[in-house]
Structure 1
């Protein structure tokens, strides 16, 4: 099934409500727009667009026409109007919030859309004199936002809306039909095709009995019926319904409309399944034209300009699909290199559209959704570029391009944070302004965490209100900075691709980068090898089989299963290193992808022995190489000359109460850290036992610390990564504030060369495709920690203390110190001790620069 279009919820039916404070003419016009030529109505209304009500009306009309850009213009005019305060006209304000939410939803910004819709719902519930239908409209709209990712939640919203509409069923027949259509989309998303088809046919029958033929809603129903038939491979029926939908949309909207683009996209998929590559390209080109403002070309090799798109998220999907069609044409029929080149050209434009979408998105959850889609784009780009490399006789231009896509797929959020930090440093922004930004950012992070933890409805609503208002303040604040300091804006949004030559020039002698890229579509893992003189790649086939070995390897480590460890660790090594490492290499910088980030490469066994050896005798990778992990090659080498403070911070709660185990050995670990700081003449701030509170930590001047050592407990929440955290001692003044959550860590401002999280599972978290492990490590990296030592499983108190003591003892002993070498030496010492099992020494890994 062509999921990129059929399942995009932008083509569902939103409602705009029918209040009693806005004029009757307003509501009559909205009703009229569903049954008459909308361009004629808009042209009439443009004659008088001075009042706030007329601006809001035009925004809605343009939204219904499918012109998001025009809708945004009028909504922005209202946002900047002094008369738009919610107390001046409460329904106008509530409706503006709703329309803003719908426009954001149409832009693919689902989480931000929900924030506006939730605020609109809250405001409508305070307006007793208005019809309950306003509440139902909002519940329907919130269902639309959820339908793409959480269809079960969407259906609950739809059912709540139906209950309200059903109290006046005859008056609300049209809305009941439209909610039924929306429920059918939720069924389609869950692949309940028979049920979806039943609902859609019933809706079509009821609609036809009560409306004249040829209206957009009829086309919408028929397009979705056609989509169901396409999903179930009933291509003749699919073509009939999609063709009818096409004709109705053309009659009502002309050739440029995003819902028409959806129909063309599905017709393109239908022709591709029939093996009609030329026809498939014909329809995808028509889809691109329909979603553009000016693009006219029907030459298949040509693409719209990046900024020529009505809806960026739809344009991105169309371009990705076009690339796949060209690739299919190459393999299925032509074997013409030109078709691969046309595919990579579409991918390049799609990548720039994606960057435009990212630049206009500030919401973290929406950015994560973009990262997921981006990963698919970059996987396609790598696959096509590598095929072009293999059919190109000279040079490695396409291999470099494939690697650039691999780099783009790694840790986009973290890269954005680094770029913003550097932009602030060079833009001449006053310190007071930067402090205000940090204050707002920190409070937003705290409120977001409290919303996740809140259980009482009244408290939750208060927190949401405060969060929403503060977020509006923050966004306006950032907009003012970007206007007042254009250098910051330009640096922040500059698009400079990763240069292989630059990466190679910065690699030290004996240093090599190994970057892994998951390719689930082809069930492969692509491995890029980069030294200062070489760039090459390898394919690891059977990704699923590799992941099975990976999980077995991890289990043998976590549960200290010595009997099977040797064989599994060696077999996984053979999978992950399908090449020989040159004798001149002494340090490996490993950039893992997906689940590869959850294992220590150090404990892989390179050499196999027929006999079962003791742990200390095994040929571990750590015995031959320093090993350093990084989120991407470009991040590993960024800001190599950073300026750090001179101090160190130690936090050791030791005791936690509430049934949480005491960390007795952490006191010895802390004494050793203090001793090491004294030997190096490093001023140290110690937060020990009762002083090790969350409040004291957050109120410390964190930017002044070059080294931060946290010897404590960690907690991992794989379902809600922002609720992972580290424990502090109980604060009698704040009894519920003894965990610093990931969501709050993102709001900190740190400038540390090294942060050591000497706690359990601090390197774990939810794996988000395109971002890696979303947990404590990435949160500290985001907040400014250049290097981190993290743990991959629950660690033993005594052995952890010994490892940390040995690690610090090795620092600064040589003229050029290296964290990776210091950690390696500490691990080798443990291998030759009573703690030789990898369970004790392997969990701690070094991430960073």
Structure 2
């Protein structure tokens, strides 16, 4: 029934009471719903809705539609349920007077539906909106808490999940809820504990089972799920035989409940196979997985995510037995069972990465096939075809990772993807390096290795925009942002729908819808490229700097060192105008501890410990071949982003020398950003300067005053003024956030002499301190910096720890410096730890003196080098503590 809500804007709302006859019918429909007779209940609610509509009983009409949405959800028609709920919200907001309870119930239903398709972010958003509109001390409130707990658990927040589960259970018990609901609460609490505390999990799961068994007929499905959960809790305790006993009980239940093949039976067979694999009984495990595969294929055919996943599990069994040829063959079958319009003829065929059912299964299958072929080459065949096949699969993994990264919104999905991507890049670099050394195509394979390394660094270029909600700086409209997000949401939803237990007809319908939305997104992205080229470039332009492009950009005497930290080694790419060399160095298990040890030795001026560890780090991180170079650009990885490479000490026959004494050192996040920085340097025609120094902080967040910064900015003003450069000062009370409002693109230089604080767990909360006013507390947060309008050749943060932030695998540090880069700073000078007020002032003045009087051919890195060398030669500030923390991100 199609309803034109707009036609009834002026209707007077009346008739909200349910007529007596209708009340009896509603009670009957509710009884059908409670007894799981969803089709019959759906039909009755639809008939009642029509009658309520004709009688203008708007509240009752809305309630009936909500019940219909509930039936659709129970029947597995999740998209229909969500669409129905959205129409109810539209109707309620437009035409009902007291909508709070109805809105709460509807949003609760939408949250539950979204949880079914794995959209925890959207589910939690709806549930948080539902919670205040649902009456306290009701079963609906308990259900809302329960659903919120599940969303938090799915996002990895176990502590919050437990709090809400326990609150829901307490409320249900107090209200005398049915045993089935009390069992649900205990089952869900057991699941929270199952990974890290399986013994505690067993306590709650057994309680859940007792609740469910109070009414076996009503709770058969739940009892079955509980048996599976208990089995895997026993696995966590190493009790494999006890786990199998639970599956025996499950088999007995499913045999009575289902005649013939059924997905639940197939899943039980597959679960038994997985437990037997953990037990080491590979032959038995293989038998059960083959039975599960046969049942899934009889139910779904050759193309289905369950079929693909079971092929994958069989492949794992063969890989455990070191039968790599068979393992690769099953992984190949898994890959193509996951692609609904592609076939293969040969083990070495590689798929087009499109039209897949389940992206994560496809990624796992591609990665495992690559690993199997790699093992086949090294342990059995030594055939180039196998190792090249492995590399081809890693390249497809990389392509798929790029697609998933652009469309996934869920935080937990991103974390899982990051872990897989790190392994893919590590293996891809390793295989490419091996082939470059053993074939006549050295350059070709080095290009591929460099691309893998660069892609590992470039991942955050997309993440930083979406995570900080800083899209507006590129000028994109709210309407376009909403269109982009809605298309991606629909694509994600449809992909999840296709994973449900649905008919072939429904799956075909979802495939057609998915094709339509993906086409619409492609068209929209093309439009974005035309309307908002800057946003498109940052968000969708996947072109990364190539090894050849980087080499061409380097002048004689310039070099780039790019790093990738693997599990037990570091890959180092040395690139100059004339050569490119890829080396690997073993680092041992406590590498992060060694890096932290070096930082601490500098910060706490432990000179003896510093010399020892710094020399070790030099030998590990600096390859031979840098001696002719006068400029080194460092592209660090992970924890390496937290150390100043210029303080590494080379020990030879000539004595000890810091790296900064050999060459000027600067940093960047990736070769792509490095090349972009070269091409987008602002012209020197506009050389205005903005100097900012709050000086006094009124003990804001415990910050001390910085009196030396006043001398610092005055001296810098004098230096620039003497060179006919326009200087604007914002000091003390004038150094408020208001000075940064508006267009700052006229400033070539911005200098902040202030405090900075880094929040490693939440980079958005990292901040620079300005002067506080009646309208602002003075904290300039990282998320606000993204929206500044800069076109600066250099931004200097003469502050504490401004170069630090959240360290992400393969992404370096996400913090203030990255935010300023996005805001338009071409080059940055930032600090890696808390700095001395006076030494900082001296070094900054020296840096600007060098900059204003050097030749046009030299860059900021040489200016900074000269300032540091001056400090090294001084009596008071020669220790690395004083000069090492400030690093240049840029050139």
TM-score by length of 1: 0.77
Map of 2:866 onto structure 1: 825
String of CA shifts for 1:2-57, please: whole Å, max 9, x gaps. Answer: xxxxxxxxxxxxxxxxxx99986996898769xxxxxxxxxxxxxxxxx9989978
2: CA distance between counterparts of 1:434 and 1:21?
A: 55
2: CA distance between counterparts of 1:208 and 1:762?
A: 63
String of CA shifts for 1:438-471, please: whole Å, max 9, x gaps. Answer: 9999xx9xxxxxxxxxxxxxxxxxxxxxxxxxxx
Residue 421 of structure 2 corresponds to residue 407 of structure 1 = no
Map of 2:642 onto structure 1: 598
1:496 to 543, 549, 561: 543
Map of 1:652 onto structure 2: 693
Q: Is this contact kept in 1: 2:127–2:144, CA < 8 A?
A: no
Distance 1:206 1:312, change over 3 A: closer
1: CA distance between counterparts of 2:773 and 2:29?
A: 56
Residue-pair matches, total: 744
2: CA distance between counterparts of 1:634 and 1:242?
A: 46
Deviation at 1:398, TM superposition (A): 1.0
Map of 1:139 onto structure 2: 146
Residue 596 of structure 2 corresponds to residue 556 of structure 1 = no
2: CA distance between counterparts of 1:76 and 1:132?
A: 22
Distance 1:417 1:150, change over 3 A: closer
Rg larger in 1 or in 2? 2
Map of 1:712 onto structure 2: 754
1:746 to 753, 762, 786: 786
The more displaced of 346-355 and 370-379 is 370-379
Provide the aligned C-alpha RMSD in A: 4.2
Map of 1:791 onto structure 2: 831
Q: Is this contact kept in 2: 1:546–1:575, CA < 8 A?
A: no
Map of 2:93 onto structure 1: 87
Residue 693 of structure 2 corresponds to residue 631 of structure 1 = no
String of CA shifts for 1:243-300, please: whole Å, max 9, x gaps. Answer: 4544554454444333443333222212111112233223322322333222333632
1: CA distance between counterparts of 2:137 and 2:304?
A: 33
Q: Secondary structure at the match of 2:888?
A: strand
Residue 365 of structure 2 corresponds to residue 318 of structure 1 = yes
String of CA shifts for 1:196-239, please: whole Å, max 9, x gaps. Answer: 97689658747954861454345445544543443454535544
Residue 889 of structure 2 corresponds to residue 847 of structure 1 = yes
2: CA distance between counterparts of 1:605 and 1:714?
A: 29
Map of 2:508 onto structure 1: none
1:586 to 630, 649, 652: 630
The more displaced of 530-539 and 714-723 is 714-723
2: CA distance between counterparts of 1:364 and 1:748?
A: 26
Map of 2:342 onto structure 1: 295
Residue 619 of structure 2 corresponds to residue 574 of structure 1 = yes
Residue 313 of structure 2 corresponds to residue 266 of structure 1 = yes
String of CA shifts for 1:797-844, please: whole Å, max 9, x gaps. Answer: 110000000001111322334110100010011111121111111111
Residue 163 of structure 2 corresponds to residue 116 of structure 1 = no
String of CA shifts for 1:395-425, please: whole Å, max 9, x gaps. Answer: 42111101110000014223677999xxx9x
Map of 2:587 onto structure 1: 542
Q: Is this contact kept in 2: 1:184–1:195, CA < 8 A?
A: no
String of CA shifts for 1:539-576, please: whole Å, max 9, x gaps. Answer: 11134365454333222211111223333322221111
Map of 2:721 onto structure 1: 678
Map of 1:9 onto structure 2: none
Distance 1:497 1:721, change over 3 A: closer
2: CA distance between counterparts of 1:758 and 1:664?
A: 13
Deviation at 1:727, TM superposition (A): 2.0
Deviation at 1:739, TM superposition (A): 2.1
Residue 117 of structure 2 corresponds to residue 103 of structure 1 = yes
Q: Secondary structure at the match of 2:356?
A: coil
The gaps in structure 2 that reach 5 residues or longer are 1-25, 40-63, 95-101, 202-231, 486-520
Q: Is this contact kept in 1: 2:146–2:185, CA < 8 A?
A: no
Task: Choose between structure 1 and 2 for higher RCO, CA contacts under 8 A separated by at least 6 residues.
Answer: 1
The more displaced of 220-229 and 271-280 is 220-229
Distance 1:621 1:249, change over 3 A: same
Q: Is this contact kept in 2: 1:414–1:782, CA < 8 A?
A: no
Deviation at 1:681, TM superposition (A): 3.4
2: CA distance between counterparts of 1:231 and 1:188?
A: 18
Map of 1:815 onto structure 2: 856
Distance 1:340 1:837, change over 3 A: same
Map of 1:351 onto structure 2: 398
Q: Is this contact kept in 1: 2:33–2:71, CA < 8 A?
A: no
Deviation at 1:391, TM superposition (A): 2.5
Distance 1:236 1:360, change over 3 A: same
Distance 1:608 1:483, change over 3 A: closer
String of CA shifts for 1:693-727, please: whole Å, max 9, x gaps. Answer: 23x14424333322111111122223333322222
Distance 1:439 1:294, change over 3 A: closer
Q: Secondary structure at the match of 1:719?
A: coil
Taking the TM superposition and a 5 Å limit, the aligned residue runs for 1:164-183 are: 167-172=176-181, 179=188, 182-183=191-192
Distance 1:714 1:158, change over 3 A: same
Map of 2:731 onto structure 1: 688
Map of 1:665 onto structure 2: 708
2: CA distance between counterparts of 1:799 and 1:366?
A: 45
The more displaced of 363-372 and 338-347 is 363-372
2: CA distance between counterparts of 1:811 and 1:692?
A: 25
String of CA shifts for 1:481-512, please: whole Å, max 9, x gaps. Answer: 75754535875534324322211111122111
Map of 1:14 onto structure 2: none
2: CA distance between counterparts of 1:662 and 1:221?
A: 66
String of CA shifts for 1:132-184, please: whole Å, max 9, x gaps. Answer: 36853773575366347455555555555666677544455995797488457
Deviation at 1:514, TM superposition (A): 0.9
1: CA distance between counterparts of 2:116 and 2:769?
A: 40
Deviation at 1:58, TM superposition (A): 11
1: CA distance between counterparts of 2:409 and 2:823?
A: 16
2: CA distance between counterparts of 1:413 and 1:546?
A: 23
Map of 1:17 onto structure 2: none
Map of 1:41 onto structure 2: none
Q: Secondary structure at the match of 2:847?
A: helix
Q: Is this contact kept in 1: 2:758–2:805, CA < 8 A?
A: yes
Deviation at 1:129, TM superposition (A): 11
1: CA distance between counterparts of 2:168 and 2:270?
A: 24
Distance 1:438 1:843, change over 3 A: farther
Q: Secondary structure at the match of 2:93?
A: coil
Distance 1:184 1:417, change over 3 A: closer
Residue 327 of structure 2 corresponds to residue 280 of structure 1 = yes
Map of 2:46 onto structure 1: none
TM-score by length of 2: 0.74
